């Protein structure tokens, strides 16, 4: 009987391992289900502000949260956290109708809340949309790519005391500048810059591509 029990236990463990691997493969392939997510699907919330995906759901290659400074407001992610161990993630809650799935990436010695910034992966050249409805307050050189990309800062209509920033945006769309009104999921800001020119994006460790992305963060107005 003991031998039979060991065999049954081994088979169960093998089946569970296969299920885990299959689940991980699906997880990596589908950060958002485009069949159930609209163009303004909300990925998370910060200070009561809903943050819509800046990339069309069908083009998102990965979602990864990380710290990026003490001044950033913590984002409450929507969806399933894939950073837990594989067995636990099979039974974890947090699922949404859009089937959003994300990682909380290693801090890499950066300070601030673990979910202070969100990398939304997409191929370089993919169109970037406003993650909130509001007004553009500033456009400045991106700290990573400098003159080759920009950070677009938006004052959200839901809370004028906050600022939502989208970094690694290249080729700003016509009409995008300070005081430009924008609509979540509808207004084009520009396109995804190729950040692999100067670094290996951390998101590449969690996706099957080079890890190009835009980063969304929220801070309080000065």
31-220 is classed CATH 3.40.640.10: no
Residues 6+ apart with CB under 8 A from 157: 132, 133, 134, 135
Tell me, what's the pLDDT at 6?
58
**Measured distance CA(84)–CA(80) in Å, rounded:** 10
Residue environment code for 114-132, b if the CB has 16+ CB neighbours within 10 A, otherwise e? bbbbbbbbbebebbbbbbb
48-85 per-position pLDDT tens digit: 999 999 999 999 999 999 999 999 999 999 999 998 65
Number of C-beta neighbours around residue 36 at 10 A: 13
163-222 per-position pLDDT tens digit: 999 999 999 999 999 999 999 999 999 999 999 989 999 999 999 899 999 999 999 998
108-164 per-position pLDDT tens digit: 999 999 999 999 999 999 999 999 999 999 999 999 998 899 999 999 999 999 999
**Measured distance CA(14)–CA(176) in Å, rounded:** 54
pTM: 0.84
Tell me, what's the pLDDT at 16?
55
- Domain residue spans in the chain? 31-220
Tell me, what's the pLDDT at 13?
56
Percent of the chain, pLDDT > 70? 82
**Measured distance CA(102)–CA(64) in Å, rounded:** 6
Distances from the Cα of 197 to the Cα of 3, 43, 107, 122, angstroms: 57, 27, 22, 15
Tell me, what's the pLDDT at 25?
43
Mean pLDDT of 76-105: 78
């Amino acid at each position: 009987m003991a031998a039979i029990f060991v065999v049954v236990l081994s088979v169960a463990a093998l089946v569970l391992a296969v299920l885990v691997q299959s689940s991980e493969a699906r997880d990596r392939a589908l950060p958002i289900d485009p069949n159930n997510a609209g163009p303004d699907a909300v990925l998370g919330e910060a200070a009561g502000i809903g943050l819509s995906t800046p990339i069309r759901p069908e083009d998102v290659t990965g979602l990864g949260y990380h710290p990026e400074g003490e001044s950033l407001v913590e984002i409450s992610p929507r969806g399933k956290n894939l950073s837990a161990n594989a067995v636990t993630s099979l039974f974890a809650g947090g699922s949404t109708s859009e089937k959003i799935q994300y990682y909380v990436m290693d801090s890499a010695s950066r300070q601030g809340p673990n979910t202070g910034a969100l990398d939304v992966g997409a191929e370089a050249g993919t169109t970037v949309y406003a993650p909130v409805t509001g007004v553009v307050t500033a456009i400045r050189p991106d700290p990573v790519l400098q003159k080759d990309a920009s950070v677009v800062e938006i004052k959200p209509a839901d809370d004028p005391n906050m600022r939502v920033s989208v970094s690694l945006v290249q080729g700003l769309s016509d009409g995008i500048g300070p005081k430009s009104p924008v609509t979540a999921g509808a207004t084009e800001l520009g396109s995804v810059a190729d950040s692999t020119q100067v670094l290996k994006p951390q998101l590449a460790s969690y996706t099957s591509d080079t890890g190009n992305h835009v980063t969304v963060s929220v801070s309080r107005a000065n």
